[in-house]
Amino acid sequence: MSDTPRVSALEKLRREANAPALELVANDAEPGELVEERRAYSVIRGRRGQLLMLEIRFANGNRTALGYPYLVGVDFDLSGILTLQFSGRTVTVEGSNLLPVYEALLNHAVGYLQELDAERDPATEGEPFIQGMKMEVVG
């Protein structure tokens, strides 16, 4: 058995991106939990590591919060599309480098998804970028 700790794929990507993590206490976070805020999303890590709601932030300023208990499926397509299936709604996220977002969604650890304007907020290499989101009512 090795003394070297295992590193997740998400952690490897974070290290490669060299993005600093911010230690904050968010509304749903408990003291001592780590919230990493990026331009396109936030993710919580710590003892609990699961949030109650996911906030969808559109580029025009509109926001919607959806409860994780109603998230029934997440599809990841390498072409840059995430499909989140909630009871009664489907959220389609288009962008690039979305694998870390997908992995954090599986753990109910994403606090928000932020749609960005490519002209005002250009993508940086290797960083998750959300260029478009749409929400549809189903059922």
pLDDT tens for residues 3-50? 555 555 545 544 544 444 433 334 444 555 688 888 899 998 775 657
Pairing of β 110-114 and β 53-57: parallel
Across 24-28, 53-57, 101-105, least confident range = 24-28
pLDDT at 120 over 50: yes
Phi and psi at 58, nearest 5°, equal -90, 155
Tokens of 43: 């993710």
Using CA atoms, how far apart are residues 37 and 133, in angstroms rounded to an integer? 19
Half-sphere exposure of 115 (CA within 13 A, CB side): 19
Query: Distance (Å, rounded) from C-alpha 83 to C-alpha 109?
Result: 16
Closest CA to 63 of 115, 108, 123: 115
Cα 11 from Cα 3, distance rounded (Å): 18
Q: Kindly state the tokens that stand for 131.
A: 């260029």
Q: What is the mean pLDDT of residues 124-136?
A: 94
pLDDT of 90 over the 80 cut: yes
